[in-house]
Amino acid sequence: MDVHSKEFISSNTPELKCEFGALSRSDGSVLFSEGESVIMASIYGPVEATFNKIVIDKASVDCYYRPKAGVPGVQDRLRESVIRNICEIAVAISLYPRTAVLVNVQEMQNRGQLISCAINAVSLACLDSGIDMKFVFGAVSCFLSNNGELSCIPSINEDTVKAMLVFVFNNTTGGIIASHTEGCFSIEQYKIALEMCRKESRNVFKFIKTSLLAADKL
Amino acid sequence: MAEEYKSLHPLKYYRDYFAHDIRPDGREFADYRPVIVNVGSISTADGSAIAKVGKTTVICGVKAELCRPRPECPNKGFLVPNLELSPLCSSKFKSGPPGEEAQVLTQLIADVIENSRCINLEELCLLKDKLAWCLYADLVCLDYDGSLLDACIVALMACLRSVTLPHIDYDPALDVKQTNLQERRHIAVHSMPLACTLAIFDDKILLTDPTVEEENLSSGSVTVVINGDELCSVHKPGGSILSEDQLLDCIGKSQARAKSLQELINSAVNAANKMG
Amino acid sequence: MVASTDLGFFLPGEVIKDIESKDKYTIIGPGLRRNEEDPNSLVATQAGRLTFRAPNTYWIESRRNRYIPKKGDLVVGVVTKKSGDILKVDIGCAEFAWLSLLAFEGSTKKMKPNVNVGDLIYAKLLNAHKEMEPELVCVDQYYKSGRLGVLPNEGVLINITLRLTHTLLNAENPLLRTMAKKFPYEIVIGVNGKVWIKANQAKDVLTLCKAFEAAELESEKSIIEACRQHK
């Protein structure tokens, strides 16, 4: 069930690839690569919640981010909290009170756009699991080089990158669900990056739809 | 009567106020709470500051230690922030190892330090691959009433401005260190990043400098960190969906706030310097 | 049986306009919700193909794998706990379902059926509200068991995808009939994806499992085609 994005994405954006059902036990799983960053994501849910995590009017979302090597650190906690917050707004959690939705993210390879790759992988895993969602979310990373150029592909030399901006959009209104940045940049650059990423997000949603369609035919 | 109404229907209570364009504590949507900064409050630390944003109180102390630089960056020292959210500041925190919120905020503070390059870590290195300063910036929240990151960053920046390090005579051949405690010097703080938190209420109302109640009832939050003329972080972890205009509105509001906070820290640090 | 029509592929959040239901009265199935802004349209909440059955029923054929209990569903479950008159049954959803020992045919306070932990139950969902534990019964509205009750110990329990249960339970689907021509077997399919099989030989059970595994990856059309060739 491999799907490539080559057919409709130009060369100056990262290539997207995904494989659904990569894990047999989870309700939804995906192996997703954006450029050269690779993430495996899986969803269990709704499942029984542990006693101290029960919320009476909605499902509790738990995210577990595992780095490539070693135990999760403080940085991974931040990623977990961003992914969890996005899932809480996108998944229709009020439909499953007193249950838990478990989101597992395993980093496989990091070449810059790790956060957007992880968010997109979670989005695809949610869709694969068939859990009810209010909308689909898609993330785009954008890199600002030292000479002020914006690009969606990370530079090979890390030192030339001045800032990285990640935006998460929804597929219905194109509103901004999340924004995460690293490095310094001007407001003007932020605006341009936002516009660029919004345009690029349409390709991400197109990719999500094409890949699900391809998986559905099988 | 109002108290009962508030505890039974907290959301409705707030909505009723917001319908009249005012917040329960008398502020308008874009108003801030008063900020108090006190520098040099802990005499045993190498630098310290207390910041109060409304009722939110954070104390920051910097302890300097000498250490060996890491082999992967031999010409850099360290600045390690750590935020402690003890049961003292709010009943939602338990004692023991840091919880998720403390870890997330610690990482955000570390990101702000790194992104803004307010401290040049190379200046903390005394001798390449041999000796460097390691600054532990310990932040302790004493009272939690919303906009914690704002207070943390104000405390941290005021604290870093007040840090003085003793002069070190180091003889690499004999590996002998001599500390001259009389001759203390300030460290160079190159920029002053300042954070501004906004809560999104009912997907449309933007509340600057929210209290903890407003944060709990809000549907999302945005934190903008301003570093001089530049932006250093626009952190929106999920929550309500914003349009581009709303997000840029948040940035605009934060810029005005950062300017006033910067003046406040400057005058607090200058006053402390004159005294001491 | 009225044929259902495929109206294209939708993602969550996408709005479905031009609803053709009669008298503006629409029945919506899984994967859809009403649009609050425009009463004449629906919003998808799952990714899948929108399907319409005249006169007014819409639903989304999704790839859901986790069973969500619905009132009236016939499910297969495993008894996991027995305390007093209450059995807790694992039916594959977030919570254990609740089954009273008095909800069996002919059961009274003094005469209770012999059910043990680990037994398989074929039961009907009496209650499936999201705010409450699902409740099972093994009798119909006339207090007769029909085919419900404890399943014999000789069988084998397997899990299949929810989509395949829908395919197999479709009366027009020839897969089960085609297999029955090869060897005799008994089968109970719960809509929760749990299937109980009993056959004379272990080989036959494995053949059935293999057939289901293959069918999971095939479309409905190709299953029918494959069955025709084996006639």
Contact A194 B232 (CB under 8 A): no
pLDDT of residue C224: 86
pLDDT of residue A8: 47
What is the interface pTM, i.e. ipTM, of the complex? 0.90
| pLDDT bucket at A170, cuts 50 / 70 / 90 | very high
CB B224 within 8 A of CB B251: yes
pLDDT of residue A2: 61
Average pLDDT over residues A110-132: 94
- Chain A hits for B237, Cβ within 8 Å: 81-82, 85-86, 178, 180
Contact A81 B237 (CB under 8 A): yes
| CATH fold of C73-150 | OB fold (Dihydrolipoamide Acetyltransferase, E2P) (2.40.50)
Is the CA virtual torsion C138, C140, C143, C148 positive or negative?
negative
CATH code: domain C156-229 is: 3.30.1370.10
Average pLDDT over residues A134-140: 95
Longest dimension (CA), chain A: 53
A186 and B CB contact within 8 Å: yes
pLDDT of residue C8: 87
CB C210 within 8 A of CB C169: no
pLDDT of residue B174: 83
Contact A134 C13 (CB under 8 A): yes
| Nearest-CA distance C202 → chain A (Å) | 24
Burial letters C186-201, b for 16+ CB under 10 A, else e: eebbbbbbbbbbbbee
Contact B251 A187 (CB under 8 A): yes
Quickly count: other Cβ atoms within 10 Å of residue A113's Cβ: 24
More confident residue, B269 or C18: B269
pLDDT in tens, B65-96: 999 999 999 999 999 999 999 999 999 999 99
pLDDT in tens, C150-201: 999 989 999 998 989 988 998 888 899 999 999 999 999 999 999 999 999 9
Pair type for strands C156-159 and C194-199: antiparallel
> Which strands sit side by side in the sheet containing A60-66, from one edge to the other?
A2-4, A16-20, A28-34, A37-48, A99-109, A60-66
Task: Compare CB distances from C66 to A27, A134, A135 and report the shortest one's residue.
Answer: A27
Chain centre to alpha carbon of residue C88 = 19
Average pLDDT over residues C100-122: 91
Quick check: do C4-61 and C73-150 share a fold? yes
| CATH fold of C4-61 | OB fold (Dihydrolipoamide Acetyltransferase, E2P) (2.40.50)
Percentage, residues of chain C above pLDDT 90? 50
| pLDDT bucket at A1, cuts 50 / 70 / 90 | low
pTM above 0.90, yes or no: yes
pLDDT in tens, A11-66: 578 899 999 988 988 999 999 999 999 999 999 989 999 998 999 999 999 999 99
Residue A9 has pLDDT above 80, yes or no: no
Residue B3 has pLDDT above 50, yes or no: yes
Task: Compare CB distances from C12 to A99, A136, A216 and report the shortest one's residue.
Answer: A136
Percentage, residues of chain B above pLDDT 70? 100
Extents of the domains making up chain C: 4-61, 73-150, 156-229
Residue C90 has pLDDT above 90, yes or no: yes
Q: What domains lie within chain B, and their CATH numbers?
A: 1-31 (no CATH), 32-275 (3.30.230.70)
Percentage, residues of chain C above pLDDT 70? 97
CA–CA distance, B72 with B216 (Å, rounded to integer): 42
A183 and B CB contact within 8 Å: yes
